[in-house]
Amino acid sequence: MIKTGDQLPDVTLYQYNNDAGACAIGPKAFSIRERCKHKKVLIFALPGAFTPTCSERHVPGYVAAAPALFAAGIDEILCVSVNDAFVMNAWGNSLQVGDAVKMIGDGNGEFSEALGLTQDLSARGLGRRSQRYAMLVDDQVVQYIAVESPGKFEVSDAASLLAVLR
């Protein structure tokens, strides 16, 4: 499992934005390591788009806290899930995340796997998913990471990460 002081793995992730009036062009692929180069990035991950805790508490908490997080020095907030970029975009639109949180698809679970932060939820019909966590990355290096115990939502919320930044 990734830990404080480790460099992010060089994995491709995907983002899709369907701007009003623009033609739909497939998801944009990017290297997570390159995206975090020379920036302070907060990455939080969750088991799945449109799931109860994720939709009702996790993402909305980061949207609400985004101004304070940016004021504390965060350049970008990324929400990652083992869903495709189209689903992540639709979910972000439904939650009205705007520019506060970038909704990122880890459709094949490669990023979650490279971090050592997957969980098998096949018994509940969900397949392999990401564990719930949040991490602070400064210039590609993990400065802080909080991984939730199974079924919990106590340490990866926006308020906890704000407390770490202060």
Mean pLDDT of the chain: 93
- Give residue-wise pLDDT tens across range 100-115: 999 999 999 999 999 9
- Of 91, 80, 100, which Cα lies nearest the Cα of 156? 80
Q: Which one has a higher pLDDT value, 103 or 51?
A: 103
Tens digits of residue pLDDT in 88-101: 999 999 999 999 99
pLDDT surpasses 90 at 22: no
91, containing H or E segment: helix 85-94
Q: Known catalytic residue: 23?
A: no
Using the predicted structure, report yes or no on whether residue 87 has a pLDDT greater than 80. yes
Amino acid making up residue 70: F
Number of residues written out for the chain: 166
C-alpha Rg value of the chain to the nearest Å: 15
Query: Which range among 57-61, 76-80, 150-154 shows the weakest confidence by mean pLDDT?
Result: 150-154
What CATH number corresponds to the domain at position 14? 3.40.30.10
Six-digit token string for 129: 């998913």
The pLDDT value recorded for residue 137 is 98
At residue 19, does pLDDT exceed 80? no
Helix (H) or strand (E) holding 110: helix 110-115
Burial class (CB in 10 A: 0-12, 13-18, 19+), 1: exposed
Residue of 23, 36, 54, 79 with catalytic role: 54
Range(s) of the domain holding residue 30: 4-163
Q: How many domains does the chain have?
A: 1
